Amino acid sequence: AQKVTQTQTSISVMEKTTVTMDCVYETQDSSYFLFWYKQTASGEIVFLIRQDSYKKENATVGHYSLNFQKPKSSIGLIITATQIEDSAVYFCAMREGFLSSGSWQLIFGSGTQLTVMP
Amino acid sequence: NAGVIQTPRHKVTGKGQEATLWCEPISGHSAVFWYRQTIVQGLEFLTYFRNQAPIDDSGMPKERFSAQMPNQSHSTLKIQSTQPQDSAVYLCASSLDWSQNTLYFGAGTRLSVL
């Protein structure tokens, strides 16, 4: 069974610094997909970035990038030049390949609260 | 693109009453997912549809919960005889098709059962 673990409950950083949020996952599948989502104070959940397991290059979108370490089953989210508006809860999520799990459900971690201070 | 639309945003029911939650996926998206979010359990998968057909309802409580997708433009989640433990934010999400994995979430419906 797949599982996603985020051990950092909350992180506080100063504005314009770089922060890394950790996420480890468990899967028996050789093909899977990893995602990071952000939930704002209003409750809105927004997709940020994804990493497909077969891709060796770390994904990058704007000031978000991933540190994908497949042997460690780890997918860290790196936010550079943090801004006040990056304050939110960040969720890591995983989906196994359809052929193995027979389902497209996304399994989420428990989330990390990021606070960016001025 | 209006995004995923969920109505109502807030619903208050008395214990034992029925609650129906509505979701309008993004136009052209063929997969619709329902999740429930609570402080204790976090984000829990409930069920999903692909091309209106129910594919996986493994997260749905076996009693009192049901979901339907009568047409490609809306899905409903119905909870019969609501209980206080059903209080949560219910989130609907859609994705483009079976090969696209990214989910786009609605704003959610906050259900409060008194």
Give residue-wise pLDDT tens across range B11-48.
999 999 999 999 999 999 989 999 999 999 999 999 99
The minimal CB distance from A95 to the residues B50, B55, B101 is found for B101
> Residue A24 corresponds to which tokens in the numbers above?
């480890």
Per-residue b/e over B79-100, b at no fewer than 16 CB within 10 Å?
Answer: beebeeebebbbbbbbbeeeee
CB distance from A113 to chain B under 8 Å? Answer: no
Asked which of A27-31, A71-75, B10-14, B33-37 is least confident by mean pLDDT, the reply is A27-31
Q: Does A31 have pLDDT greater than 90?
A: no
Q: Verify whether the Cβ–Cβ distance B42 to A108 is below 8 Å.
A: yes
pLDDT of residue A101: 55
**Cβ–Cβ under 8 Å, residues A18 and A78:** yes
Q: Average the pLDDT over B45-63 and give the result.
A: 91
Give mean pLDDT, residues A92-117: 83
pLDDT tier at A102, thresholds 50, 70, 90:
low
Confidence check: pLDDT of B97 > 80: no
Answer whether A67's CB lies under 8 Å from A10's CB. Answer: no
B77-94 pLDDT, tens digit each: 999 999 999 999 999 999
Instruction: Return the sign of the alpha-carbon dihedral for residues A41, A45, A49, A54.
Output: positive
Q: What confidence score (pLDDT) does residue A115 get?
A: 97
Whether A59 has its CB under 8 Å from any CB of chain B: the answer is no
The reported pLDDT for the residue numbered A50 is: 94
* Residue of chain B with shortest Cα separation from A95: B101
**What does the pLDDT read at residue B62?**
86
In this structure, how many other beta carbons lie within 10 angstroms of the beta carbon of residue A10?
10
pLDDT for A92: 97
Chain A residues touching B45 at Cβ < 8 A: 105-107
- CA distance linking residue B101 with residue B47, whole number of Å: 15
Q: Does A64 contact chain B (CB < 8 Å)?
A: no
User: What pLDDT does B98 receive?
Assistant: 60
pLDDT at B96: 87
A89 forms beta bridges with A39, A113
- The alpha carbon of residue B40 is apart from the nearest alpha carbon of chain A, in Å, by 9
Q: Looking at the predicted structure, is the pLDDT value of residue A71 above 80?
A: yes
> Mean pLDDT lowest for which of A43-52, A90-99, B34-43, B63-72?
A90-99
Q: Does the distance separating the beta carbons of A104 and B56 come in below 8 Å? A: yes
Q: Which residues contact B106 (CB under 8 A, 6 or more apart)?
A: B3, B4, B5, B6, B23, B91, B92, B93
Using CA atoms, how far apart are residues B5 and B74, in angstroms rounded to an integer? 9
DSSP state of A85: G
Q: Which of A50, A102, A105 sits opposite B45 (nearest CB)?
A: A105
**Least confident stretch, A100-104, B70-74, B77-81:** A100-104
Residue A85 has pLDDT above 80, yes or no: yes
- Quick one: average pLDDT of B101-114? 92
How high is the mean pLDDT of chain A? 92
